[in-house]
């Protein structure tokens, strides 16, 4: 007998009504009070009965649920799995478990955890389900957070490492070629300082949308932190990658960021490195791209720099960056130490002792590291102010203890009456001079350690002074008002102009050693030292000759009227110590 579709639906309704009569009134009340979904499924695959939670959670009417097969409400990707589980009920007597996505009336899905058992007497399947949707959404959210940046929605650094590591493995296995870009915004700090973090975050989101438009679906764009982004270009030659990187750079350059009444022009520095069979691991590849990005910044910003093996500039930068970690660790572990070198007077009537305080670093094995091995890195990565502060506070503390002991031996207990027969010269970096807070730090040190300022001479290089002449002159003047002395080091190395000397009220002019060491054999060097010495004296400065290596040079300097001499021919650097006689 063939029934029409309407007749079939009517028959299902009648069967369901008949089945409902078999439930006791008490059981029906209990099931409707439950937050779990309860239902009865017939062997024909249609729902026969369900509680009120089934209706409320899924949003269907009773008629909609009773007139369609149970599987029609299951997400199409989960139907086969659900069908297989229901089929198992015919072969086993135990409870069967499964999970699926159940379609709701509004088009959404609910994740349901099912438990079902077949009643072999009346061939009905009794099933209950627990709504897992909220916990599944939370799991997915947590899963996305572990892989994605919360601000931009891009991959985070951890997931980027996974993707790049996989690309490196593929290159090593099958010779495929990829490329990695390390992108750093050049003016992000200006936007952040002017517009606040809300404006800065908005800028990062806008730039993310722009960059996504230029990359393929197979490429991986990630936010590595702050204003730094990583881009993995899969199956891409270095030449193609450079074209893409320059396109991104141009797009950022042409982009205008508007915030309230302000408009900002931006640019980006991009480091680019190839991923091929020679690539070792994520750390080495990212380090190379980072070094290339830094090189792009050093060369003027707003450019792409391609990393190439055996590039001397990048090798130098990489070594310097390695030194950054060593320097910070040395500061934490107190592995810096102070040395001193004597400066003698070439005048018979001057007996005041003069020493330059020098910095040394001890490696992990306790061996001395020459200053030029780490000072350039400290200068390039703005670590000199911290080092300068360490030198000053360490020396002031040691010198103050010496002065206290000296006074006790001479029965003079007044802390202000310290011996002033010696002068100690301490080097300062250009970064410290340009720091607005450094002068306050020095004043604080003189308060903590009441040593006489007239025994302290601060020294800066000529190039540091010329770099910011007004700031250097102001700084020197402030220290001289405290009673300190000042020396200008490496005079003559810059040779840009002698006019700036008029604006620097220094006490000592240190003549660059490159002119002094050949003074006996080179008439030009002889004339240069003579000239600098005369200029210094005209400006009421005392002169100090560096790199003095033997007695004949000392005699020549005396004849020229130079005031002081310093070098290995006089005294080699040695650990700083104070004698109390």
Cα gap 581→393, rounded to integer Å: 25
Give the chain's radius of gyration (CA, Å). Answer: 40
- DSSP-derived pairing of the beta strands 422-427 and 368-369: unpaired
Is 6's pLDDT higher than 60?
A: no
Which has more confidence, 499 or 164? Answer: 164
Cα gap 389→236, rounded to integer Å: 49
Mean pLDDT (whole number) for 501-512: 87
pLDDT of residue 25: 57
329-382 confidence digits (pLDDT tens): 888 888 899 999 999 999 888 778 899 999 999 888 888 888 888 888 888 888
209-221 confidence digits (pLDDT tens): 888 888 888 899 9
pLDDT of residue 26: 55
Cα–Cα distances in Å, from 77 out to 60, 73, 101, 133, 143?
Answer: 21, 12, 9, 17, 21
Please report where in the chains the tokens 């910044």 appear, as a residue: 297
Is 264's pLDDT higher than 70?
A: yes
* Cβ(275)–Cβ(177) below 8 Å: yes
Residues counted in the chain: 581
527-543 confidence digits (pLDDT tens): 999 999 999 999 999 99
286-304 confidence digits (pLDDT tens): 988 988 998 888 888 999 9
Please report where in the chains the tokens 């627990």 appear, as a residue: 130
For residue 372, the surrounding DSSP H or E stretch is helix 371-380
* Cβ(183)–Cβ(230) below 8 Å: yes
What structural domains does the chain harbor? Answer: 5-136 (3.30.450.20), 148-309 (3.30.70.270), 324-575 (3.20.20.450)
Please report where in the chains the tokens 């707003």 appear, as a residue: 302
Residues in contact with 192: Cβ distance below 8 Å, sequence separation at least 6, in sequence order: 199, 200
pLDDT of residue 33: 67
pLDDT of residue 35: 74
User: Kindly report the CA angle at 81 between 78 and 86, in degrees rounded to 5?
Assistant: 120
152-211 confidence digits (pLDDT tens): 888 888 889 989 999 999 998 888 999 999 999 988 888 888 888 898 899 999 999 888
Band the pLDDT of 18: cuts 50, 70, 90. very low
pLDDT of residue 332: 86
Is 60's pLDDT higher than 60?
A: yes
Is 1's pLDDT higher than 80?
A: no
Is 499's pLDDT higher than 90?
A: no
Residues in contact with 231: Cβ distance below 8 Å, sequence separation at least 6, in sequence order: 180, 181, 183, 211, 215, 219, 220, 221, 222, 245, 248
Give me 261's structure tokens: 């009444």
Which has more confidence, 352 or 580? Answer: 352
Cα 557 to chain centroid, rounded: 51
**Verdict on whether the full-model pTM lies above 0.85:** no
Which has more confidence, 320 or 205? Answer: 205
270-284 confidence digits (pLDDT tens): 999 999 988 889 988
Give me 382's structure tokens: 């703005």
Mean pLDDT (whole number) for 90-94: 81
Per-residue b or e along 452-468, where b marks 16 or more CB atoms closer than 10 Å to that residue's CB = bbebbbbbbbbebbeee
Is 3's pLDDT higher than 60?
A: no
* Cβ(187)–Cβ(264) below 8 Å: yes
Q: What count of other Cβ atoms lies within 10 Å of the Cβ of residue 413? A: 9
Mean pLDDT (whole number) for 55-84: 89
pLDDT of residue 350: 77
Give me 396's structure tokens: 């002031």
Exposure of 579 in the CB half-sphere (CA atoms within 13 A): 3
Cα gap 66→71, rounded to integer Å: 12
Coil, strand or helix at 264: strand
Cα gap 250→245, rounded to integer Å: 9
């Amino acid at each position: 007998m063939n029934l029409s579709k309407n007749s079939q639906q009517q028959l299902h309704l009648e069967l369901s009504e008949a089945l409902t009569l078999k439930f006791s009134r008490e059981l029906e009340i209990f099931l409707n009070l439950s937050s779990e979904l309860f239902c009865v499924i017939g062997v024909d695959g249609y729902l026969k009965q369900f509680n009120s939670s089934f209706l409320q959670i899924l949003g269907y009417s009773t008629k909609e649920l009773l007139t369609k097969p149970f599987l029609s409400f299951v997400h199409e990707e989960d139907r086969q799995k659900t069908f297989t589980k229901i089929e198992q009920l015919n072969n086993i007597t135990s409870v069967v478990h499964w999970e699926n996505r159940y379609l709701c009336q509004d088009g959404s899905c609910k994740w349901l955890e099912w438990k079902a058992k077949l009643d072999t007497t009346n061939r009905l399947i009794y099933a209950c389900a627990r709504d897992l949707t909220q916990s599944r959404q939370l799991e997915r959210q947590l899963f996305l957070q572990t892989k994605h940046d919360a601000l931009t929605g891009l991959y985070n650094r951890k997931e980027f490492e996974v993707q790049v590591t996989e690309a490196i493995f593929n290159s090593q296995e099958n010779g495929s070629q990829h490329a990695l870009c390390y992108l750093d915004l050049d003016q992000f700090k200006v936007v952040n300082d002017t517009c606040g973090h809300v404006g800065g975050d908005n800028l990062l989101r806008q730039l993310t949308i722009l960059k996504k438009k230029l990359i393929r679906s197979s490429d991986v764009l990630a936010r590595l932190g702050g204003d730094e982004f990583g881009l993995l270009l899969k199956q891409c030659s270095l030449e193609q990658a450079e074209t893409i990187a320059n396109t991104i750079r141009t797009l950022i350059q042409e982009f205008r960021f508007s915030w309230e009444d302000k408009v900002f022009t931006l640019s980006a520095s991009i480091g680019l490195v190839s991923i091929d069979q020679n690539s070792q691991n994520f750390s080495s590849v990212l380090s190379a791209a980072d070094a290339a990005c830094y090189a792009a910044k050093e060369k003027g910003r707003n450019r792409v720099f391609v990393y190439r093996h055996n590039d001397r500039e990048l090798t130098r930068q990489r070594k310097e960056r390695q030194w950054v970690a060593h320097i910070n660790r040395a500061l934490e572990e107190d592995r810096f130490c102070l040395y001193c070198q004597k400066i003698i007077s070439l005048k018979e009537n001057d007996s005041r002792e003069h020493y330059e305080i020098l910095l040394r670093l001890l490696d992990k094995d306790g061996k001395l590291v020459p200053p030029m091995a780490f000072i350039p890195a400290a200068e390039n990565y703005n670590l000199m102010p911290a080092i300068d502060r360490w030198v000053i506070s360490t020396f002031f503390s040691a010198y103050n203890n010496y002065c206290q002991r000296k006074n006790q031996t001479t029965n003079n207990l007044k802390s202000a009456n310290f011996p002033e027969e010696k002068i100690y010269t301490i080097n300062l970096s250009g970064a410290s001079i340009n720091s607005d807070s450094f002068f306050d730090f020095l004043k604080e040190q003189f308060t903590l350690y009441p040593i006489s300022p007239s025994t302290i001479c601060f020294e800066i290089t000529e190039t540091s002074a010329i770099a910011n002449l007004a700031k250097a002159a102001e700084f020197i003047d402030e220290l001289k008002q405290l009673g300190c002395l000042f020396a200008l080091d490496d005079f003559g190395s810059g040779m840009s102009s002698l006019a700036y000397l008029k604006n620097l009220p220094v006490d000592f002019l240190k003549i660059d050693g490159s002119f002094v060491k050949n003074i006996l054999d080179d008439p030009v060097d002889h004339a240069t030292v003579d000239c600098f010495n005369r200029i210094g004296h005209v400006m009421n400065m005392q002169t100090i000759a560096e790199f003095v290596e033997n007695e004949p040079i000392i005699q020549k300097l005396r004849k020229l009227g130079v005031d002081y001499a310093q070098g290995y021919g006089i005294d080699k650097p040695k650990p700083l110590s104070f004698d109390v006689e």
